[in-house]
């Protein structure tokens, strides 16, 4: 009986498949998982994977539109749910789907058109025919400027605030913020979720305005389609009375001896796509929420933590650390001890006057260039002529010929990468810093300590976290190549020329 039952179950599981074949699973950007019944408890069947664009295309061919499946509400917007306004009645929700979906598919079958499933197991599949490749859609400075120009920069068409007393929306000029500050991932009382608000505003406008923008899911959420969106080279600045340049300090604490941080707001705006990169909760100064001792608004995260947390994308150090993952930077930074900063790192940021002097020097400083160290302070401890063009590495000389390491060429390439990056130029800028990429934990000079001065051959059993000389060379060289995606040289003999058999072992 058990065996018979298994045969029957397997037959249902693979219903519709040819003998010995499985349906090929595809990825789509328009996938919506229908799991509405989960609000009433655990599901009896797998949720339904619904390809939205496929259905809208089929309806368009019949001359039908969104109102075929979505109810128009009193405010003129389409309800996000399928043919209903809420999910309060369990039986009604289930019946709404089963009656309307199956009936539509059955009608297509009767009329000889392509149709979707008409039996339970073909919708509620353990292994769905499609998986979602949907990627989030952001509204960056470029898109904001393009929409602003198209709409005549009438900001009130999109931006609004909610008056709790009158329970009405209104436009607050000069207080515009991102939608995400009010519309959270999930619906909050009468405030729609971000997904609902975005689709009502964006898709609703696109549907009402010919050739305004995409109305199908893939138009915004497909990775390839996103890459095709036109990006402006110099989008209009988002004005919120923000300063071009400011000296950051610990709130109003004038007694602090920690120097202020010269901060170019303009430079960071140009580098980041949205204000949310830094202003993640509200468009206010960081110190209003992140106080010296932490606050309820900041969930206890102090100002010091907010600025220096290496694991946060919103903190200064966290954001800078993220840039170290770029291919041009990763060759050195991926191999360095994470979280460890050089002795001079603090002074590069904290280069301004102490807080007690800020008021007296107000207006004197207007850009970061005024805080660049003098040439005398950053001068090389050696001349470029002291940098050797090649270095011979012969650790494997018993089996291979010594490696002629193109030292000068690599230094020049790293310096070229630095010169092409504003952030790298600000924090590096000269060979003394570049040397630390390979000669870590070593003083800079014309003759830095050799690798074997620290790395034993074989490794030191009493210091298991320090590789032996053989491992140190290969981890450093191969690690840099992998991080910077350098494909050549490859394999052992790409670097080490094999010795003739009669010479090996001498």
Residues 254 and 223 in one domain: no
The strand ranges marked E within 151-243 are 161-163, 168-170
Instruction: For residue 461, give its domain range.
Output: 377-495
How many angstroms separate the CA atoms of 220 and 224, rounded?
10
Q: Structural domain tally of the chain?
A: 4
Identify any residues that bridge with 211 across adjacent strands, giving them in sequence order: none
Strands 31-34 and 48-51, bridge-based pairing: antiparallel
How many angstroms separate the CA atoms of 417 and 424, rounded?
8
Residues 42 and 128 in one domain: yes
Residues 282 and 216 in one domain: no
How many angstroms separate the CA atoms of 240 and 237, rounded?
9
What is the CATH number for 452? Answer: 3.90.10.10
Residues 114 and 160 in one domain: no
Asked, for residue 273, whether it belongs to a domain, the answer is: yes
Strands 48-51 and 168-170, bridge-based pairing: unpaired
What SS3 class is residue 29?
coil
CB 456 within 8 A of CB 311: no
| pLDDT at residue number 38 | 93
Nearest residue to 316 via CA among 362, 262, 352, 370: 262
| pLDDT at residue number 149 | 93
Residues 123 and 187 in one domain: no
* pTM, to two decimals: 0.75
User: In the listed set 333, 361, 389, which residue is the last one of a domain according to the structure?
Assistant: 361
What CA dihedral angle connects 270, 275, 278 and 284, to 10 degrees? 130
The pLDDT averaged over each successive group of 10 residues in the chain (506 residues) is: 46 41 79 94 94 95 94 90 92 94 94 91 92 93 93 93 90 90 88 91 90 92 94 90 88 74 91 87 86 87 90 89 89 76 76 88 87 66 81 81 89 87 80 78 79 83 85 89 89 85 56
Asked, for residue 11, whether it belongs to a domain, the answer is: no
Residues 251 and 307 in one domain: yes
| pLDDT at residue number 1 | 52
């Amino acid at each position: 009986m058990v065996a018979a039952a298994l045969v029957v179950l397997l037959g249902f599981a693979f219903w519709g498949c040819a003998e010995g074949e499985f349906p090929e699973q595809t990825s789509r950007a328009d996938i919506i998982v229908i799991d509405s019944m989960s609000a009433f408890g655990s599901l009896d069947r797998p949720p339904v994977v619904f390809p939205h664009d496929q259905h809208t295309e089929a309806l368009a061919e019949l001359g039908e539109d969104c109102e075929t499946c979505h109810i128009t509400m009193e405010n003129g917007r389409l309800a996000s749910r399928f043919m209903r306004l809420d999910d309060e009645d369990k039986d009604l929700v289930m019946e709404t789907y089963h009656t309307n979906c199956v009936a539509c598919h059955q009608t297509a079958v009767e009329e000889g058109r392509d149709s979707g499933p008409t039996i339970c197991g073909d919708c509620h599949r353990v292994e769905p025919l499609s998986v979602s490749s949907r990627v989030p859609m952001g509204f960056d400075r470029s898109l904001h400027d393009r929409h602003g120009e198209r709409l005549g920069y009438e900001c009130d068409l999109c931006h609004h605030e909610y008056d709790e007393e009158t329970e009405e929306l209104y436009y607050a000029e000069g207080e515009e913020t991102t939608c995400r500050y009010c519309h959270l991932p999930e619906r909050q009382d009468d405030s729609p979720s971000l997904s609902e608000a975005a689709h009502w505003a964006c898709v609703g406008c696109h549907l009402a305005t010919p050739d305004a923008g995409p109305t199908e899911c893939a138009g915004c959420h497909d990775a390839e389609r996103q890459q095709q969106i036109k990006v402006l080279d110099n989008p209009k600045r988002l004005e919120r009375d923000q300063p071009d340049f400011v000296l950051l300090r610990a709130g109003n604490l004038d007694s602090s001896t920690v120097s202020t941080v010269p901060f170019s707001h303009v430079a960071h705006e140009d580098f980041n796509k949205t204000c949310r990169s830094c202003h993640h909760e509200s468009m206010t100064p960081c110190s209003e929420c992140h106080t010296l001792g932490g606050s309820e608004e900041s969930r206890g995260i102090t100002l010091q933590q907010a600025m220096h947390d290496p694991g946060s994308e919103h903190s200064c150090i966290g954001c800078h650390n993220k840039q170290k993952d770029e291919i041009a930077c990763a060759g050195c930074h991926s191999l360095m001890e994470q979280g460890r900063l050089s002795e001079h790192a603090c002074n590069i940021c904290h280069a301004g006057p102490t807080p007690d002097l800020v008021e007296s020097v107000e207006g004197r400083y207007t850009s970061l260039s005024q805080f660049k160290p003098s040439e005398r302070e950053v001068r090389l401890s050696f001349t470029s002529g002291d940098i050797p063009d090649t270095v011979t590495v012969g650790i494997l000389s018993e089996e291979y010929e010594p490696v002629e390491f193109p030292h000068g060429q690599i230094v020049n390439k790293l310096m070229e990468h630095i010169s092409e990056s504003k952030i790298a130029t600000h924090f590096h800028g000269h060979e003394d810093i570049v040397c630390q990429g390979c000669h870590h934990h070593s003083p800079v000079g014309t003759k830095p300590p050799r690798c074997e001065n620290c790395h034993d051959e074989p490794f030191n059993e009493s210091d298991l976290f320090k590789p032996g000389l053989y491992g140190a060379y290969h981890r450093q060289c191969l690690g840099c190549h992998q991080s910077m995606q350098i494909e050549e040289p490859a394999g052992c003999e790409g670097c080490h020329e094999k010795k003739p058999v009669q010479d090996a072992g001498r």
